[in-house]
Amino acid sequence: MKKNGVLNLPISRILASLGHTDTVVVGDCGLPIPDGVERVDLAVVKGLPPFAPVVAAIADELVVQKIIIAEEIVEHNAETFGFLEKLFSDVPIEKISHETFKAKMKQAKAVIRTGEATPYANVILESGVAF
């Protein structure tokens, strides 16, 4: 058994497989997941698990060189936007329209679906390198 870090087997496997500039998405329970992109569904009920602790656990293990969010989050979900700004204070944040965000998801290695039920609680994490 692992001593620490992400214990979820599919998420652990996905994170270990990412190379430089590969992306993984963490989303709310309403985010449409494109066909052909691996889905890791953590949602149990509305709100469980929440978005923030899932993103934080992944951020502890992944070198993130950039995050991409829907620009709508700034106005419609200031709390989650503030969380992302604080957690990723040392990486660039790219803001794009929600429609463009959904199109970009087609290139992701996987989408991790949480039970989060607040608007635009979605992030694309771009993998960096540890050297």
| Spatial distance between the Cα atoms of 47 and 30, rounded to a whole number of angstroms | 11
Asked if residue 35 belongs to a domain, the reply is yes
With a cut of 90, say whether residue 55 has pLDDT above it: yes
CATH number at residue 40: 3.40.1650.10
In this predicted structure, what is the pLDDT of residue 14?
98
Does 1 map to a domain?
no
Domain that holds residue 24: 9-127
pLDDT (0 to 100) of residue 109: 98
- Annotation marks residue 76 as catalytic: no
What integer is the mean pLDDT of 64-87? 98
Between CA 94 and CA 130 the distance in angstroms is 21
Structure tokens at 4: 């620490």
Instruction: From the candidates 20, 39, 46, 106, give the one annotated as an active-site residue.
Output: 20
Asked if the model's pLDDT at residue 20 lies above 90, the reply is yes
Domain for residue 123, yes or no? yes
β-strands 110-113, 23-27 pairing: parallel
Please give the pLDDT value at position 1.
84
- The number of folded domains in the chain is 1
Q: What confidence category does residue 7 fall into, taking pLDDT thresholds of 50, 70 and 90? A: very high
Q: Are 18 and 62 in contact (CB under 8 A)?
A: yes
Residue 4 lies in a domain: no
